[in-house]
Structure 1
């Protein structure tokens, strides 16, 4: 699980939006802001089963029996691990242009993502500023991981302009803090360039990506996110994107607004 709200303004002078990102979580906990413990290391069987406090998504190890029964067969069939093959989702038309999620290619995309993470408006929320290795380790853990989180560039009209993480919220620390349902899918978003913030792009792209998730993941009934409750522009962006405010939840490092976009309500909101 990564940050709590990522930069994407909704209007002139708006503060950076954290549309899902890195905070300290326990399973059933997630966020776009704050530092989180990404320390590696073996977990005991008890910790693995309970997703112990203070662990981030990428630190959590799925039980071997789960991998054997559900993950391995999907890989053998050529399917993306747990997220229905994000690389095949393709482009989608939005009010702001043609948009596509393109999985991060570490060797090619690391400099761009690292530059975005070192933006002073972004750094406090994603906690990935600093050395080349810090951002690389974060990306590599997802790319080489078990498929619960897929890092992507958001490409608008041919230009990479945002960073996304599509993740299994029901297998994330966030699930400890709300009544998760199987296949709930979470999103984290960072609008990369300052010139792209404050123009309403966040709302338009959040709606487009939420609809992509629902279209490409038939087993998923809900898309979820957890922006900081005090980040009014972020919450407003989710509301404008067809999410509903479901609850206030106490997460490590913040009080969050649990935002949900429901499949059954997508035609009404």
Structure 2
């Protein structure tokens, strides 16, 4: 699983390269009007749970099993339809990231724009070759590695949506919004249905060290919680060695939940709870 905690230096490209209709919808809705009672707050902030696997996850397992054994009954694949999932290259599992629209932040208007490889590979590949990024993402070198990484998500089942972060018309960061409860990460912590995860890197040197990362993290998690009503919390797993990144998550309203041993790193499990979003 990729990291979510690099803060590199790289160039930017003008918004014209993203498209004329990008980020032109009205600023986001205020849909989170109820944050629960004190007892609900306690429940939402617990990190242990007797968890029933979500229907989407069971359907995905069934679908993968059918593909591996064509002789199986096709009944498993119909579980995808019953769960309301779309075919490959869909972001329905994340409630239409492409339609979330912009959000006003103290740093300016910001929006997530789903990646198009032909348009965005050179920019993202350049960021991946910054030493500050390469130390955590491990995608330095030729753009082929970055292209493979992006296409694997774009042609997958919709559990992850890679995006450019566009601030005041300028692409300046890279984000991956993903279903943490359907991700391998769920094997390493007590996941809950619809947990939503974030990976990111900040691409422009001018945006590092002055709080922009924390500002945008808070904005994106607000977008997730507003646009995904079934999601009770947003999670992240920055490398414990990356102190500035962990500090940025804390400043953005996340709480430190646990240290987690992942296949490629020891991570800080960071959580932002819907019930506490106005308190932290």
TM-score tier (shorter): 0.7 to 0.9
CA contact (8 A) 1:170 1:184 kept: yes
CA shift, 1:257, in A, is 1.1
* Corresponding pairs, count: 218
CA shift, 1:66, in A, is 4.7
Cα gap change, 1:145 to 1:75, in 2 (>3 Å): closer
5+ residue gaps, structure 1:
10-44, 50-62
Aligned to 1:197: 208
Distance 1:199 1:66 in 2: 47
CA contact (8 A) 1:246 1:258 kept: yes
CA contact (8 A) 1:6 1:188 kept: no
What TM-score do the two structures reach when normalised by structure 1? 0.75
Secondary structure in 1 aligned to 2:132? Answer: coil
Aligned to 1:5: 5
Alpha-carbon RMSD: 2.3
Match of 1:255 among 259, 266, 269: 266
**Higher Rg of the two aligned structures:** 2
Aligned to 1:70: 83
Aligned to 2:199: 188
CA shift, 1:174, in A, is 0.8
1:97 is aligned to 2:108 = yes
Distance 2:241 2:78 in 1: 40
CA shift, 1:200, in A, is 1.1
| 1:197-229: CA deviation from partner (whole Å, max 9, x where unpaired) | 112111000000000000000000000001122
Aligned to 1:82: 93
Aligned to 2:26: none
More helix by share: 2
Distance 2:222 2:8 in 1: 19
CA shift, 1:121, in A, is 1.5
5+ residue gaps, structure 2:
10-60, 66-75
